A and B are shown apart, each in its own frame.
Chain A
Amino acid sequence: MSAQTQTAKQMDILRFATAGSVDDGKSTLIGRLLFDSKSIFEDQLESVERTSADRGEEYTNLALLTDGLRAEREQGITIDVAYRYFATPRRKFIIADTPGHIQYTRNMVTGASTADLAIILVDARKGILEQSRRHAFLTTLLKVPHLVVAVNKMDLVDYDQGVYERIVDEFTAFASKLEVSDLTFIPLSALHGDNVVERSVNMPWFEGPSLLHHLEHVHIASDRNLIDVRFPVQYVIRPHASTDHDLHDYRGYAGQVAGGVLKPGDEVVHLPSGLTTTITHIDGPNGPVEQAHPPMSVTLRLADEIDISRGDMIARPNNRPESAQDIDAMVCWMTPDRRLTPRMRVVLKHTTRTAKAMVKSLNYRLDVNTLHRDEDADGLDVNEIGRIALRVTQPLFVDDYGRNRLTGGFILIDEATNNTVAAGMIIGAR
């Protein structure tokens, strides 16, 4: 790839999460994508080849490329979310590589939170396992817009179409219980490279694209919410330059657009005050711009002097987020240090606003394998998911998570330890 092709074109970015255990060949698949797209460097490969040989492994163990920490290499497991990068002339890719063991649900939730697409690996010999269902459920809970089920190790079932189709049928039946917006199946062998970058000659019966081709072409531009204007104010810019008269009165509201399209001249409403005003200028990173949309970081200037500070929200007068102190949400509990229990007090961070909150009730704990709701549960342990009601000490400006991941997601922080203890997805607010 020449430098020219890298820069001359307007490449976009696809973020995807991979779920599965080492046994499913997940690390091998990632290693294969990096290797076949020439994103692995010679020194990295040499180091992996050396380690593979030291361990007496038959093939160069591409999984070693992704296991970064000492304990991971020693135990052959993936502990934490690792981020990997590769690019083709069409797209830049950011992989959130998340471990598949049950105790690491929180890592999968983390990796999926920013993903445009998730790949769930299924071992063709084993079919759909409990963990495959769990991964599919978490993907839909986090509203990852695109899901790929990679049926791996097809080489070990003689590239048999019947095996593949049974898995497709079984998964499709299960997925009908979830809200999956875009589901794609690809049979492959990560070890041998079948259908990873090039279409496999061993599976002529499969007419779909290779995995990489799918990743390069999947349409993600429409996944963003470009309808509901949401601008959480992050930072107020006041230059205080007494010498420069132009800057003396400059007052800009900086933030990252969380939804909708903003233009100079648009009428907007400030929350919590409810006052309306007009956007006079939008300053982008390279000067004034004619419009701003997700995920741009910009600075708005407004026609009227309103008292606006960090944590406030700018929206359209006829399309406002819910202003709410009572929040219903699905949460994933992320700490082993303590349990989530009713009456617990926490700190909640939502967009740019941080407020104290109390868990009013736990409606149910959800079994991520069976989707069974346990309404008698009295708490959530680490890696458990449930529906809770929260009371927040000040209003938040929220949307349902399904409508906007940025104004519908929040984290909970334990004031005693300052740890992030939960991820929340809003499903209702009053």
Chain B
Amino acid sequence: MQRSDYLLSQLDVLEAESIQIIREVAAEFERPVLLFSGGKDSIVMLRLAQKAFAPAPIPFPVMHVDTGHNFPEVIEYRDRRVAELGLRLVVASVQESIDQGRVQEETGRRASRNRLQTVTLLDAIEEHRFDAAFGGARRDEEKARAKERVVSFRDEFGQWDPKNQRPELWNLYNTRIRQGEHVRVFPLSNWTELDIWDYIRREELELPPIYFAHTRQVFERDGMLLADISYANRGDDEPAFEATVRYRTVGDASCTGAVKSAAGTLDEVIEEIAATRITERGQTRADDRASEAAMEDRKKEGYF
């Protein structure tokens, strides 16, 4: 899409910026890894990584922090995509962390493995000696994320210190760390939710089918529609019913809400997203509703 006035579209600018970040980190770190969940943001990340090194293969493995509370369609997609690209997949399992006694499963109806992921993630980073972990988080998602650096330093305990972040100027990233420390890298920092969807459409990226309208058994909890699957712990007072829904985000299936929608195609989904008046995390993530600073607190502990 070359134009004589040397202008680029906003997607081209964002893409160029993300590729610059990915290459910089690949050049300066010894053992990067890309977090790949099969969700839309990580799908975009994978495409950008492909472009950054083409025609050579992506020079680092991908990792999925698996809560065990998955949508089967997403796992199927994950495995197929990884095989197509010939990538090495590291699966870090929350179930194993529980079995090994590293973490304790929450109890009660709202038990979620969301918070437990942090321990599993940090253990995997340590075990594989990863020094940089690419994540698909965006600054428009949540207000604690709006303050995070693109290359975000984590101490030897994996902690984020929001008041003591390294200044980031121009396109220069400070990539120096000591043994045992690592960085989280967010190449999609400046993308918005709509940019992600526009890019998926432009690149004709395949998505797991749960992003499109489908019928499934759901029940209502805290104003959200949760899938009626065993680990959601549906109570007797939470009747299940059939609804036509799609997912706006893909996370732990026990706490990720679906939205009622008839949007069956990418164009229809984008039309709905552009018109929506609620943020994606506000609409679909029970974990962020806990308090005003829920995300900030989890991030300090090492959550993505």
Residues of A within 8 A of B (CB): 1-3, 6-7, 10-13, 41-44, 47, 51, 65-71, 73, 79-85, 87, 92, 94, 106-107, 109-110, 113-114, 221, 224, 226, 234-235, 237-241, 247, 250, 254-256, 261, 283, 285-286, 289-291, 293, 295-297, 299, 310, 334, 347, 349-350, 352, 405-406, 409-411, 413, 418-420, 423
- Cβ of B88 within 8 Å of any chain A Cβ, yes or no, is no
- Cβ of B140 within 8 Å of any chain A Cβ, yes or no, is yes
CB <8 Å contact, A83 and B139: yes
CB <8 Å contact, B10 and A11: yes
Complex CA gap A9/B15 in Å reads 17
CB within 8 A of A290: which of B2, B171, B276?
A: B2
Complex CA gap A73/B147 in Å reads 14
Given known pairs A3-B273, A85-B140, the reply for A285 and B16 (CB within 8 Å) is yes
Hey, what's the 0/1 contact readout for B264-301 against A, CB within 8 Å counting as 1? 00010011011111110011000000001100100000
- CB of A353 to closest CB in B, whole Å: 11
- CB of A146 to closest CB in B, whole Å: 17
Size category, B interface: 35 or more
Given known pairs A43-B279, A85-B140, the reply for A261 and B23 (CB within 8 Å) is no
Complex CA gap A372/B287 in Å reads 52
Pick the most buried of A41, A44, A224, A247: most chain B CB atoms within 10 A of its CB. A41
Main secondary structure of the interface of A (DSSP, over half): mixed
Complex CA gap A310/B283 in Å reads 44
Complex CA gap A406/B16 in Å reads 15
CB <8 Å contact, A295 and B16: yes
Given known pairs A85-B140, A106-B167, A238-B56, the reply for A296 and B16 (CB within 8 Å) is yes
Given known pairs A68-B296, A237-B56, A239-B55, the reply for A297 and B19 (CB within 8 Å) is yes
CB <8 Å contact, B10 and A43: no
Which chain B residues in 164-178 approach chain A with CB under 8 Å?
Answer: 165-172, 174, 176-178
Complex CA gap A110/B6 in Å reads 26
Given known pairs A289-B2, A310-B27, the reply for A420 and B167 (CB within 8 Å) is yes
Report the number of A-B residue pairs with Cβ-Cβ less than 8 Å: 207
Give the chain B neighbours of A299 by CB distance below 8 A.
54
- Cβ of B20 within 8 Å of any chain A Cβ, yes or no, is yes
CB <8 Å contact, A234 and B23: yes
Complex CA gap A1/B273 in Å reads 10
- CB of B259 to closest CB in A, whole Å: 13
Complex CA gap A406/B163 in Å reads 27
Give 7 A-B pairs besides A43-B283, A297-B52 with Cβ atoms closer than 8 angstroms: A3-B194, A10-B9, A51-B292, A82-B143, A107-B167, A224-B6, A418-B178
CB <8 Å contact, A285 and B139: no
CB <8 Å contact, A110 and B147: no
Which chain B residues in 113-137 approach chain A with CB under 8 Å?
Answer: none
CB <8 Å contact, B270 and A3: yes
CB <8 Å contact, B177 and A418: yes
Q: Which residue of A lies closest to B190 (CB)?
A: A94
CB <8 Å contact, B163 and A80: yes
- CB of A35 to closest CB in B, whole Å: 12
Complex CA gap A153/B296 in Å reads 33
Hey, what's the 0/1 contact readout for B3-36 against A, CB within 8 Å counting as 1? 1011111101111110110011011000000000
Give the chain B neighbours of A241 by CB distance below 8 A.
55-56
CB <8 Å contact, B55 and A247: yes
Give the chain B neighbours of A66 by CB distance below 8 A.
143, 146
- CB of B86 to closest CB in A, whole Å: 12
- Cβ of B97 within 8 Å of any chain A Cβ, yes or no, is no
Complex CA gap A1/B2 in Å reads 26
Complex CA gap A296/B292 in Å reads 38
Give the chain B neighbours of A107 by CB distance below 8 A.
167
Q: Which 4 A-B pairs have the closest CB atoms?
A: A68-B143, A43-B282, A113-B169, A297-B19
CB <8 Å contact, B6 and A3: no
CB <8 Å contact, B20 and A297: yes
Complex CA gap A369/B178 in Å reads 38
Give the chain A neighbours of B2 by CB distance below 8 A.
289-291
CB within 8 A of A41: which of B23, B51, B278?
A: B278
CB <8 Å contact, B5 and A221: yes
CB <8 Å contact, B198 and A405: no
CB <8 Å contact, B174 and A413: yes
CB <8 Å contact, B292 and A261: no
- CB of A51 to closest CB in B, whole Å: 7
- Cβ of B162 within 8 Å of any chain A Cβ, yes or no, is yes
CB <8 Å contact, A85 and B139: yes
Complex CA gap A272/B277 in Å reads 54
- Cβ of B189 within 8 Å of any chain A Cβ, yes or no, is yes
Q: Which residue of A lies closest to B143 (CB)?
A: A68
- Cβ of B215 within 8 Å of any chain A Cβ, yes or no, is no
CB <8 Å contact, B167 and A254: no
- 5 CB-based A-B contacts, threshold 8 Å: A13-B14, A70-B293, A256-B20, A297-B15, A411-B169
